[in-house]
Amino acid sequence: MKIYISADMEGCTGVTDVHQTMNGRPEYAFGCRMELHDVRAAAEGALEAGADEVLVNDAHGRKINVDIDGLGSRVRLLSGTPKPLGMMEGCSGSDGVFFIGYHAMAGTPVAVLDHTISGGTVYSIELNGVEMGELGLNAAVASSFGLPVALVEGDDALEREVRAQLGAAPVYARVKIAKGRLAADCLSPEDSYGYIKAKAKEAVERLKARQIPLFDIGDGSYDLRVTFHTTVQCDAATQIPALERLGGRTVRVRGRGMAEMRRWTGAIVGLASTANS
């Protein structure tokens, strides 16, 4: 059995402030340490439960956050950027997916560091009329490859998002309770390590028992709409000829494959972000 881990940072143990997630800030070292901490716990639990190997995709920011020296045997690291499928690059061929260090979508009340892909660029994203954050979009990519989302880690706001979009099946590791966008009641690293590890074991056991269904995303025809914070971001994005502009701040693209839609999302947001002041 092969487990795929998509590792973000904002939902990791103890992380509550954007400065802890930004390369170049003195607080960033803490965020990197906690991402490695949580990834190691999840990988260790998966391997002890019977997984043969784990592939970790460093999926935050520049995607060079996880120190490979801290990963054990039978764990590989996909590091660096850009990657064609972004946060889901390399997932094909796995048996199940873990989302570690994830966060709630942009606009979620009382949620630690809520945003969708780029906090300064994206106001919202809709897939087939349903607003989704990174959780839903990445779960849709996983489903297109036949992969169930077995474990998600983050705060209590993300847990509610998981239950609303993915249902009761995924195992959830809640390592903090949000008190606001920049505040949370957090487990200590000592306590969260064993907790995440135990949840990873449970997730692998549920995968073995085939108790986690795929995320149902429809018939394979997709309508993706991205709404930006500003009109100039939309101006920049609509340099892509295939996009249809829907008003001042929203663009739409249609496609047949979820992997294609994920690549569209990365291209659209990346180009729009060049207009940020």
- What is the average pLDDT value for the chain, to the nearest integer? 97
Helix 258-273 vs helix 134-144: crossing angle, to nearest 10? 150
Cα 141 from Cα 121, distance rounded (Å): 22
**277 pLDDT tier (thresholds 50, 70, 90):** low
User: What does 35-63 look like in DSSP terms, one character per residue?
Assistant: HHHHHHHHHHHHHHTT-SEEEEEE-STTS
Does residue 227 register a pLDDT over 80? yes
270: CB partners within 8 A, 6+ apart: none
3-state SS of the chain: helix, strand, coil percent to 5?
Answer: 35, 25, 40
Mean pLDDT on 101-116: 99
pLDDT number for residue 9: 99
204 near 45, Cβ under 8 Å? yes
Please give the pLDDT value at position 245. 98
Is the model more confident about 100 or about 218?
100
Answer yes or no: is pLDDT of 92 > 90. Answer: yes
Model confidence at 36, in pLDDT bands (50, 70, 90)? very high
**Average pLDDT score over residue span 139-164:** 98
If we measure between CA atoms, which residue out of 111, 95, 108, 104 comes closest to residue 149?
95
**In 12-22, which positions are buried (b, 16+ CB within 10 angstroms) versus exposed (e)?**
bbbbbbbebbe
> Rounded mean pLDDT of 133-161?
98
Per-residue pLDDT tens for 168-194? 999 999 999 999 999 999 999 999 999
Does the pLDDT at position 128 exceed 90?
Answer: yes
Percentage of the chain with pLDDT > 90?
97
Please name the residue that has the structure tokens 């919202």: 124
Decide if pLDDT at 218 tops 80. Answer: no
Structural domains in the chain? 2-114+133-208 (3.40.50.10780)
Query: How far is 183 from 202, CA to CA, in rounded Å?
Result: 29
Flag whether pLDDT at 239 surpasses 80. Answer: yes
Indicate if the pLDDT at residue 217 is higher than 90. Answer: no
Quick: pLDDT tens for 51-73.
Answer: 999 999 999 999 999 999 999 99
pLDDT of residue 219: 74
The stretch 241-257 carries a mean pLDDT of: 96
For residue 133, pLDDT beyond 90: yes
Of 70-74, 116-120, 217-221, 243-247, minimum mean pLDDT range: 217-221
Average pLDDT over residues 129-134: 97
